[in-house]
Amino acid sequence: MKVAVIGGGAAGMSAASRIKSLHPDWEVAVFEAKNFVSHTPCGIPYVVEGISKAEDLMYYKPRVL
């Protein structure tokens, strides 16, 4: 089975993770229009202040197809 999830925010990534945990043999692809996939919004102030890099806010790094 192939599943497409639209949106790489918290809900989209949660749905994709849940599908993979229930059906590990299924192919799941998440499509997001922006470069931030499953980011941690609580870390944004650290990026604004220059303490962290924006890439450090993402758990899953995006792969461009």
pLDDT at 19 over 90: yes
Closest CA to 39 of 24, 49, 27, 52: 52
pLDDT in tens, 30-39: 998 877 666 6
pLDDT at 58 over 90: no
Catalytic residue list contains 64: no
Distance, CA of 40 to CA of 19 (rounded, Å): 21
Catalytic residue among 42, 59, 63, 64: 42
More confident residue, 63 or 32: 32
Once rounded to an integer, what is the mean pLDDT over residues 28-49? 81
